[in-house]
Amino acid sequence: MGCGLRGAKPKAFTIAMTDPFALFAEWMELARASEPNDPDAMAFASVDARGRPSVRIVLLRRLGPDGFAFFTNLDSRKGRELAANPYGALAMHWKSLRKQVRAEGPVEQVDDSEADEYFASRSRASQIGAWASDQSRPLDSRELFEQRYRETCARFEGVDVPRPPRWSGLRLKPEQIEFWDDRPHRLHERRLFTRSADGWAESLLYP
Protein backbone atom coordinates (compact mmCIF):
# COMPACT_ATOMS: atom_id res chain seq x y z
CA MET A 1 0.00 0.00 0.00
CA GLY A 2 1.29 3.47 -0.88
CA CYS A 3 1.42 6.52 1.32
CA GLY A 4 1.68 9.25 -1.29
CA LEU A 5 0.38 12.76 -0.68
CA ARG A 6 -1.64 13.00 -3.88
CA GLY A 7 -4.66 15.19 -3.14
CA ALA A 8 -3.20 16.45 0.12
CA LYS A 9 -2.51 19.87 -1.41
CA PRO A 10 0.99 20.38 -0.01
CA LYS A 11 2.19 23.99 -0.01
CA ALA A 12 5.43 25.76 0.55
CA PHE A 13 5.43 27.56 3.87
CA THR A 14 7.47 30.44 5.20
CA ILE A 15 7.10 31.99 8.65
CA ALA A 16 5.93 35.56 8.12
CA MET A 17 4.21 38.45 9.82
CA THR A 18 0.60 38.15 8.66
CA ASP A 19 -2.85 39.60 9.37
CA PRO A 20 -5.12 36.75 10.56
CA PHE A 21 -8.22 38.95 10.36
CA ALA A 22 -7.82 39.25 6.60
CA LEU A 23 -7.75 35.45 6.33
CA PHE A 24 -10.73 35.18 8.69
CA ALA A 25 -12.71 37.62 6.54
CA GLU A 26 -12.01 35.45 3.46
CA TRP A 27 -13.22 32.33 5.25
CA MET A 28 -16.30 34.12 6.60
CA GLU A 29 -17.30 35.17 3.09
CA LEU A 30 -16.98 31.56 1.93
CA ALA A 31 -19.08 30.43 4.90
CA ARG A 32 -21.83 32.96 4.18
CA ALA A 33 -22.09 31.51 0.69
CA SER A 34 -22.08 27.84 1.70
CA GLU A 35 -23.38 27.37 5.26
CA PRO A 36 -27.12 26.60 5.39
CA ASN A 37 -27.66 28.39 8.69
CA ASP A 38 -25.84 30.85 10.97
CA PRO A 39 -22.36 31.03 9.43
CA ASP A 40 -21.48 33.42 12.28
CA ALA A 41 -22.27 30.89 15.02
CA MET A 42 -19.39 30.19 17.38
CA ALA A 43 -18.87 28.07 20.47
CA PHE A 44 -17.70 30.32 23.29
CA ALA A 45 -16.14 29.00 26.49
CA SER A 46 -15.73 30.69 29.85
CA VAL A 47 -14.55 29.45 33.25
CA ASP A 48 -16.16 29.87 36.65
CA ALA A 49 -14.47 30.74 39.95
CA ARG A 50 -13.75 27.04 40.59
CA GLY A 51 -11.99 26.64 37.26
CA ARG A 52 -14.83 24.67 35.68
CA PRO A 53 -15.49 25.52 32.03
CA SER A 54 -18.84 26.07 30.34
CA VAL A 55 -19.52 26.47 26.65
CA ARG A 56 -22.42 27.69 24.53
CA ILE A 57 -23.16 28.87 21.00
CA VAL A 58 -23.28 32.63 20.44
CA LEU A 59 -23.35 34.73 17.27
CA LEU A 60 -20.37 36.75 16.11
CA ARG A 61 -21.67 40.29 15.61
CA ARG A 62 -18.55 42.45 15.37
CA LEU A 63 -15.14 41.64 13.94
CA GLY A 64 -12.12 43.89 13.62
CA PRO A 65 -8.49 44.30 14.62
CA ASP A 66 -9.60 44.49 18.26
CA GLY A 67 -11.20 41.06 18.15
CA PHE A 68 -14.44 39.06 18.09
CA ALA A 69 -17.56 40.53 19.74
CA PHE A 70 -20.97 39.15 20.67
CA PHE A 71 -23.83 40.62 22.71
CA THR A 72 -25.56 39.29 25.79
CA ASN A 73 -27.09 39.96 29.18
CA LEU A 74 -24.17 40.68 31.50
CA ASP A 75 -25.99 38.85 34.31
CA SER A 76 -26.12 35.64 32.26
CA ARG A 77 -23.88 32.77 33.30
CA LYS A 78 -21.21 33.66 30.77
CA GLY A 79 -21.43 37.33 31.74
CA ARG A 80 -20.92 36.54 35.42
CA GLU A 81 -18.09 34.11 34.72
CA LEU A 82 -16.27 36.56 32.47
CA ALA A 83 -16.66 39.33 35.05
CA ALA A 84 -14.84 37.11 37.56
CA ASN A 85 -12.34 35.62 35.11
CA PRO A 86 -12.10 37.81 31.97
CA TYR A 87 -10.53 35.25 29.67
CA GLY A 88 -12.28 33.14 27.06
CA ALA A 89 -11.95 30.87 24.04
CA LEU A 90 -14.03 30.45 20.91
CA ALA A 91 -14.33 27.99 18.03
CA MET A 92 -16.10 28.36 14.71
CA HIS A 93 -16.69 25.26 12.60
CA TRP A 94 -17.97 25.46 9.03
CA LYS A 95 -18.90 21.91 8.13
CA SER A 96 -19.63 22.75 4.48
CA LEU A 97 -16.10 24.14 4.08
CA ARG A 98 -14.30 21.64 6.31
CA LYS A 99 -12.65 24.55 8.08
CA GLN A 100 -12.54 25.81 11.64
CA VAL A 101 -11.09 28.74 13.54
CA ARG A 102 -10.11 28.85 17.21
CA ALA A 103 -9.11 31.88 19.26
CA GLU A 104 -8.13 32.57 22.86
CA GLY A 105 -7.57 35.74 24.81
CA PRO A 106 -8.81 38.27 27.34
CA VAL A 107 -12.39 39.50 27.16
CA GLU A 108 -13.62 43.04 27.75
CA GLN A 109 -16.95 44.83 27.58
CA VAL A 110 -17.61 47.00 24.53
CA ASP A 111 -18.27 50.69 25.10
CA ASP A 112 -21.82 51.98 25.52
CA SER A 113 -22.01 53.58 22.08
CA GLU A 114 -21.20 50.29 20.34
CA ALA A 115 -23.73 48.42 22.49
CA ASP A 116 -26.39 51.06 21.79
CA GLU A 117 -25.72 50.90 18.06
CA TYR A 118 -26.05 47.15 17.87
CA PHE A 119 -29.12 47.02 20.14
CA ALA A 120 -30.86 49.58 17.91
CA SER A 121 -30.22 47.34 14.88
CA ARG A 122 -32.09 44.38 16.39
CA SER A 123 -35.72 43.62 15.65
CA ARG A 124 -38.20 45.17 18.05
CA ALA A 125 -39.29 41.70 19.22
CA SER A 126 -35.67 40.85 20.10
CA GLN A 127 -35.27 44.16 21.92
CA ILE A 128 -38.36 43.46 24.01
CA GLY A 129 -37.16 39.93 24.65
CA ALA A 130 -33.92 41.29 26.11
CA TRP A 131 -35.97 43.21 28.70
CA ALA A 132 -38.32 40.31 29.46
CA SER A 133 -35.63 37.68 30.01
CA ASP A 134 -33.52 37.22 33.14
CA GLN A 135 -31.07 35.24 31.05
CA SER A 136 -29.70 32.04 32.62
CA ARG A 137 -31.85 32.46 35.76
CA PRO A 138 -34.37 29.76 36.79
CA LEU A 139 -37.78 30.10 35.11
CA ASP A 140 -40.90 28.65 36.75
CA SER A 141 -42.84 28.22 33.51
CA ARG A 142 -42.87 29.18 29.84
CA GLU A 143 -46.18 30.93 30.48
CA LEU A 144 -44.49 33.28 32.96
CA PHE A 145 -41.90 34.33 30.40
CA GLU A 146 -44.56 34.91 27.74
CA GLN A 147 -46.55 36.99 30.22
CA ARG A 148 -43.48 39.11 30.95
CA TYR A 149 -42.95 39.54 27.22
CA ARG A 150 -46.51 40.81 26.75
CA GLU A 151 -46.16 43.18 29.70
CA THR A 152 -42.91 44.55 28.26
CA CYS A 153 -44.60 45.05 24.89
CA ALA A 154 -47.25 47.14 26.60
CA ARG A 155 -44.66 49.07 28.60
CA PHE A 156 -42.84 50.27 25.48
CA GLU A 157 -45.86 50.62 23.20
CA GLY A 158 -45.43 53.58 20.87
CA VAL A 159 -41.84 54.39 21.90
CA ASP A 160 -38.37 53.20 20.99
CA VAL A 161 -37.08 50.34 23.13
CA PRO A 162 -33.93 51.45 25.00
CA ARG A 163 -31.03 49.12 25.66
CA PRO A 164 -31.37 47.40 29.06
CA PRO A 165 -28.69 48.59 31.48
CA ARG A 166 -27.27 45.08 31.96
CA TRP A 167 -27.25 44.20 28.25
CA SER A 168 -24.06 44.84 26.33
CA GLY A 169 -21.34 43.34 24.17
CA LEU A 170 -18.25 41.34 25.09
CA ARG A 171 -15.16 41.26 22.91
CA LEU A 172 -12.49 38.56 22.92
CA LYS A 173 -9.15 40.18 22.07
CA PRO A 174 -7.18 37.23 20.71
CA GLU A 175 -3.66 36.46 21.80
CA GLN A 176 -3.64 33.58 19.34
CA ILE A 177 -5.82 32.44 16.44
CA GLU A 178 -5.63 29.03 14.80
CA PHE A 179 -6.94 28.23 11.31
CA TRP A 180 -7.66 24.54 10.68
CA ASP A 181 -8.08 23.42 7.08
CA ASP A 182 -9.15 19.88 6.19
CA ARG A 183 -6.79 17.72 4.14
CA PRO A 184 -7.19 14.11 2.97
CA HIS A 185 -6.04 11.27 5.24
CA ARG A 186 -6.23 13.64 8.26
CA LEU A 187 -3.07 15.39 7.11
CA HIS A 188 -4.74 18.67 7.99
CA GLU A 189 -3.17 22.11 7.83
CA ARG A 190 -3.09 24.09 11.07
CA ARG A 191 -1.84 27.67 10.92
CA LEU A 192 -1.25 29.42 14.23
CA PHE A 193 -1.09 33.21 14.52
CA THR A 194 0.36 34.55 17.76
CA ARG A 195 0.16 38.19 18.73
CA SER A 196 3.45 39.92 19.48
CA ALA A 197 4.59 43.46 20.11
CA ASP A 198 5.22 43.82 16.37
CA GLY A 199 1.89 42.40 15.20
CA TRP A 200 1.28 38.75 14.38
CA ALA A 201 3.72 35.88 13.95
CA GLU A 202 2.61 32.88 11.90
CA SER A 203 3.66 29.26 12.39
CA LEU A 204 2.40 25.74 11.73
CA LEU A 205 1.14 23.01 14.07
CA TYR A 206 1.18 19.28 13.48
CA PRO A 207 -2.33 18.01 12.65
CB distance 103 to 174 below 8 Å:
yes
Catalytically annotated residue among 6, 50, 52, 186: 186
Please list the helix, strand and coil fractions of the chain in percent, rounded to the nearest 5, in that order. 30, 35, 35
DSSP per-residue letters across 182-198: --GGG--EEEEEEEETT
Catalytic status, residue 186: yes
| DSSP-assigned beta bridge partners for residue 94 | 99
CB distance 191 to 197 below 8 Å:
no
Beta pairing class for 199-205 and 176-181: unpaired
CB distance 45 to 55 below 8 Å:
yes
What's the length of the chain?
207
Q: Which residues are catalytically annotated?
A: 186
